[in-house]
Amino acid sequence: MKLSQSQREQFDREGYLFFPGLFSADETRTLTHAVPELYSRREAYNVREKGSDAVRTNFAAHLYSDPFARLARHPRMIGPVQDLLGEPLYMHQFKINGKMAFEGDVWQWHQDYGTWLNDDLMPTERAMNVAIFLDDVTPFNGPLMFIPGSHKLGVLDAGHDLNTTSYPLWTINNELIGKLVERAGGKQGGIVSPLGPAGSMILFHSCLVHASGSNLSPFNRVSVYLSLCAVSNHIRRHKRVEYIAHRDFTPIACLPDDCLLQPYRVELPWKNGLPASALQTSLAEISPSLKLAA
């Protein structure tokens, strides 16, 4: 999937693109049906909400779940990012975020690249997120909120919040958020929130400031997030475990466009459990010349 010139200009200006209903109901069901079993697993890669059994984030499903392994190679997700970054990509992070009915907690205001820089030593912001809605996203079930144009300001000052939720995050303080919203238009467009049916896709810049509120509604809001990074921009430190920040910098090879509907063969290296290496960490810096996993 190639982006038009107007889409490229919009992404440069606003920091995100929204594609309502990009994936069909049948394609989306292939993914949705796999989520309950993944969330039921008592594994380290399932991070649960603070004080609740509800899954907040499932990590690395593309390494042990067939439908998500195929999604990780889907040209509708990989193509636009590769087009914008102009080089092959690797998978930096793969998440299935569960903003579950009544229990889904907030994601504080943050930039993803802030975490990737501080924790993983990713050299530059040549990486971005692609999100797919597995449920309809409405004003009521904790939708994503963006501050348009905030990616233009580069990496912003952030503090490491270890207490608000069950997942640590480099977050931006309220005073600065107020200034960013005012800069983007205040009440007239200073915050936007893409809403749409299951199967919709958002592509957004790694420095775009975003957040989401808690889900107090009776409607789940599950989404898949691929964090795709230019191979030349691979992380330089393994401070975080491998199921959170991946260490295989092999360029992604796309499957055909019908890969969610056809049983193309994919490798599932963690199908039989997490390897010991996936739990190891290091503060040592990786050689910048490394391109592929050992």
| Domain annotation covers residue 169 | no
- What is the biggest distance separating any 2 CA atoms in the chain, rounded to whole angstroms? 51
Report if residue 136 sits inside a domain: yes
Query: Does any domain span residue 148?
Result: no
pLDDT tens, residue by residue, 183-208: 989 999 999 999 999 999 999 999 99
At 156-171, the pLDDT tens digits run 887 776 766 656 778 8
Whether the pLDDT of residue 7 is over 70: the answer is yes
Q: Which of 275, 266, 274, 260 lies closest to 23, judged by CA?
A: 260
Q: Is residue 182 part of a domain?
A: no
Q: Is residue 117 part of a domain?
A: no
Total tally of structural domains belonging to the chain: 1
Q: pLDDT tens-digit profile of 229-253?
A: 999 999 999 999 999 999 999 999 9
What's the pLDDT at 292?
46
Strands (E), the chain: 16-19, 46-48, 55-59, 89-99, 107-110, 127-133, 144-146, 159-161, 169-171, 201-205, 210-212, 221-230, 237-238, 282-285
Secondary structure letter of residue 54 according to DSSP? S
- Average pLDDT of the chain to the nearest whole number: 92
Report the CATH number at residue 83: 2.60.120.620
79 occurs within a structural domain: yes
Host domain of residue 74: 5-107+123-142+193-204+212-285
9-68 pLDDT, tens digit each? 999 999 999 999 999 999 999 999 999 999 999 999 999 988 888 898 999 999 999 999
pLDDT grade, residue 290 (50/70/90)? low
In a domain, 240, yes or no: yes
Q: Is residue 161 part of a domain?
A: no
pTM exceeds cut of 0.75: yes
